[in-house]
Amino acid sequence: MGRWLLMSGAVALALGCAGEVDDGGGGGAADAGSSGGADADTTDYGVGEPDDLAGLTVLHNQARAEVGVGPLTWDDQLEDYARAWAEQCVDNGGIAGLIDHNPSTPYGENIAGGSTLRAVEQLFAQWYDEKADYDYASGSCSGICGHYTQIVWANSSKVGCARYDCPGLQYRHGLVCSYDPPGNFNGQKPY
């Protein structure tokens, strides 16, 4: 079984600095769990998704429907942006062996990486399962939850993602998703 790491981040345009929810370090090991989401309107907001990511927008929107926020739509420009960053395979040691967050992105960003190739549903479940660590009433995390809060960030309306394969890295296979507008700002609840 492969090892998997996750990272979540957002950058505030006006401030030019990270606006992450304090999620206990921004990354950690995780295993695939539930597929996430509940019965929800699965209207195809994922028009334009590449075949290898089919259904990813629906998974996001099921999670968002659970908390009463509007759907995301697939955005080809965000997909291209995520791919352009992922294909650089930048690893400056934030989490050794995993691609880094793009330090100059104007978008929210979720990253999942591992040593083996996983299905989109498994990658998404790793992010979604962080819901258990998020306490809405206090706006706090008992573990890592920044990936989940970015997924359900009410002001985000578009998503674009890309898979990557970085043979020189320990966690060579993975997924980068970009969200616009970004989420995960300190002191703000996602919805």
Domain harbouring 65, CATH code: 3.40.33.10
Q: Is residue 55 included in any domain, yes or no?
A: yes
Q: Is residue 2 included in any domain, yes or no?
A: no
Give 162-180 pLDDT, tens digit per residue.
999 999 999 999 999 999 9
Task: Determine the Cα–Cα distance for residues 81 and 78; give it in Å rounded to an integer.
Answer: 5
pTM: 0.79
Give 71-121 pLDDT, tens digit per residue.
999 999 999 999 999 999 999 988 889 999 999 999 999 999 889 999 999
Q: What does the pLDDT read at residue 169?
A: 95
Alpha helix stretches (DSSP H) within the chain? 56-66, 76-86, 120-128, 146-151
Judge whether residue 30 has pLDDT over 50.
no
Judge whether residue 58 has pLDDT over 80.
yes
User: 48-85 in b/e burial notation, b at 16+ Cβ within 10 A?
Assistant: ebeeebebbbbbbbbbbbbeebebbbbbeebbebbbeb
Q: Is residue 116 included in any domain, yes or no?
A: yes
Task: Determine the Cα–Cα distance for residues 62 and 115; give it in Å rounded to an integer.
Answer: 28
Q: Is residue 188 included in any domain, yes or no?
A: no
Which tokens hold the place of 50?
Answer: 């590449």
Domain count, the chain: 1
Domain of 77 in residue numbering reads as: 42-180
The share of the chain scoring above pLDDT 90, in percent, equals 71
